[in-house]
Amino acid sequence: MNQNLTIVLTSTQNYVWSSMQEIIPHIVRCWEQTKDSSHQVEVIDVDTTPLKSIAKQCWQAQNIVITCFNFQIASTLRVLKKDMGIPARLIFHLHNQATIALWPLQEFGLLPLFTGNDLFISSSTRDWDSLKQSVDSPKGGVVLFSLSEQELNTETHAASEENELYFAGRISRQKNLHSIIEALHILNQKKISIKFHIFGDEDFLGSPNMGVKDPNYKEELVHLVQKYNLHDSVIFHGKVDRTELYQSKLKTRKIFISPSAHSDENFGIAAFRSLCRGERLILSDWGGHTDYQQYFPSQIEYVDIIPHNENGLTCKAEQVANAIMKTLTKNVSPFPIPSQYFENNISKQYFQLLSTPTEANSPLKLTSLFNKIIERRVQFKTHQTKIFHDYHDPLAQELFKAYGLKQQV
């Protein structure tokens, strides 16, 4: 029996982001599980495999899956598709690309190699909505991220609850940690004292899409703590190893809080771990956070992301304070993790995507917004990542609205 072949291209270069150390292996595992008597899967690490060997295998493939995007992946794809003309369909995992209008794919010369038959896979509904701002009627769809089945079963065995808040992730203005401290000040004035644990280091990235540096954000947070006399309430733990964090620092269930307006909050692994632990959460109604309402409706209080100023998008401290108060009185009964998050079901969704019908001579249709953003990117070519003038840029507003912004600037 002839077998269809899917080649899965992967790389460890993206492991510089701790979440990708979990997400990329998860994607690979799920693709490997699509194997059956009529479908073969081969995983290739582009960092260690000679290009000649990669090309030889890809000539036999019907599908080439791109699990992540970096310079090595881009170079490999250019050779396979542009130089050699390998006809296999591309299946591209978006990660943060949808909210930046795919400009890196264009700048690296890859987007012209895509056709209307190639597939995009997004990790959340809002991320898919963002993609549609750049690609007209894209093929593919939303497939959730998850953890291994062993990890899912482990995460559900958390101990008794505590009325303390915690955040785990990169310290960045886009994460709106200042709004949490301001909310704690509001509650403190009402004689309600709550501890807030911050696990993570400052990323010093600012707002790359705006070309804005923000080197002193943690220092600003420390000053807020001093200003509001919250020294005993806010604890900066720094970066903590994942195993130590969940097995030692977070032995008991606390309340996870992330009012993030980050430009690529397309899923949220830390929030997902908290949900799997049976914890209560306070999340922004933004990006990938929003989908959790469908699967974990009793555990989450949401806050709105609204315009602020040149520094970015924010949320009202008063709304965060109210969400904290509601969450403190919320009782959550542990229940099974929804089946949609188990890898065997995610693999089935991947496999179903392989049967997406193709059309003859189908071009990839790009929108006018995409073209405008690419023109803008050419203007900012001397900047490493800038594509918008600032947070007031009308082009940015279209993507913000797709991601969950409640009103225009």
Tell me the CATH number at 312: 3.40.50.2000
b/e 69-86 (16+ beta carbons within 10 angstroms → b): bbebbbebbeebbeeeeb
Distances (CA, A) of 119 to 26, 91, 131, 141: 19, 5, 12, 8
Mean pLDDT lowest for which of 15-19, 23-27, 158-162, 238-242? 158-162
| 349, part of any domain | yes
Query: Same structural domain for residues 65 and 89?
Result: yes
Q: DSSP string of 102-163?
A: THHHHHTT-GGG-BTTSEEEESSHHHHHHHTTTBSS-EEEE------HHHHHHHT----EEE
284 and 360 in a single domain? The answer is: no
Q: How far is CA 38 from CA 31, 86, 278, 324, 403, in A?
A: 14, 21, 39, 52, 38
CATH number of the domain where residue 11 is located: 3.40.50
* Nearest CA among 406, 166, 140 for reference residue 271: 166
| 357 within domain boundaries | yes
Q: Please state the domain count of the chain.
A: 2
Task: Please check whether residues 245 and 296 belong to one and the same domain.
Answer: yes
Query: Do 352 and 219 share a structural domain?
Result: no
Smallest Cα–Cα separation from 201: which of 221, 183, 185?
A: 221
Hey, what are 402's tokens? 């797709």
Query: Would 392 be classed as within a structural domain?
Result: no
Q: Which residue, chain included where needed, has tokens 């315009």?
A: 307
pLDDT score at 157: 61
What is the rounded distance in angstroms from the CA atom of residue 140 to the CA atom of residue 116? Answer: 10
Q: Looking at the domain assignment, is residue 292 inside a domain?
A: yes
324 and 355 share one domain? no
> pLDDT digit string (tens) for 73-112?
999 999 999 999 999 999 999 999 999 999 999 999 999 9
Task: For residues 370 and 376, give the distance between their C-alpha atoms in angstroms, rounded to a whole number.
Answer: 10
Does one domain contain both 326 and 349?
no
In a domain, 165, yes or no: yes
Which token pair is 4? 């269809």
- Does residue 402 fall inside a structural domain? no
Residues 290 and 318 both lie in one domain: yes
214 versus 125: the higher-pLDDT residue is 125
Residue 199 in domain: yes
Residues 184 and 313 in one domain: yes
Give the β-pairing of 312-314 and 306-309.
Answer: antiparallel
Burial-class residue 298 by CB neighbours within 10 Å (0-12, 13-18, 19+): exposed
> Tokens 């943690």 belong to which residue?
218
Instruction: Note whether 126 and 175 are same-domain residues.
Output: no
Task: Determine the pLDDT at residue 158.
Answer: 65
69 close to 108: Cβ distance less than 8 angstroms: no
Q: Is the pLDDT score of 114 beyond 60?
A: yes
List the domain range (segments joined by +) for residue 325.
157-337
Does residue 390 sit within a domain?
no
Task: Work out the average pLDDT over 59-66.
Answer: 97
Q: Do 332 and 351 have their domain in common?
A: no
Q: What is the mean pLDDT of residues 377-395?
A: 94
CB-count exposure of residue 204 (10 Å: 0-12, 13-18, 19+): middle
* Final residue of a structural domain among 319, 337, 355: 337
Q: Are residues 170 and 310 in the same domain?
A: yes
Query: Are 303 and 293 in contact, with CB atoms under 8 Å apart?
Result: no
Mean pLDDT of the chain: 94
Identify any residues that bridge with 198 across adjacent strands, giving them in sequence order.
Answer: 167, 236
Residue 1: per-residue pLDDT: 39
- 41-45, 152-156, 169-173: which has the minimum mean pLDDT? 152-156
239 and 90 assigned to the same domain: no
Q: Give the pLDDT of residue 2.
A: 53
Question: 63, 41 in Cβ contact below 8 A?
Answer: no
Lowest-pLDDT choice from 126-130, 137-141, 251-255, 259-263? 251-255
Distance CA 388, CA 208 (A): 9
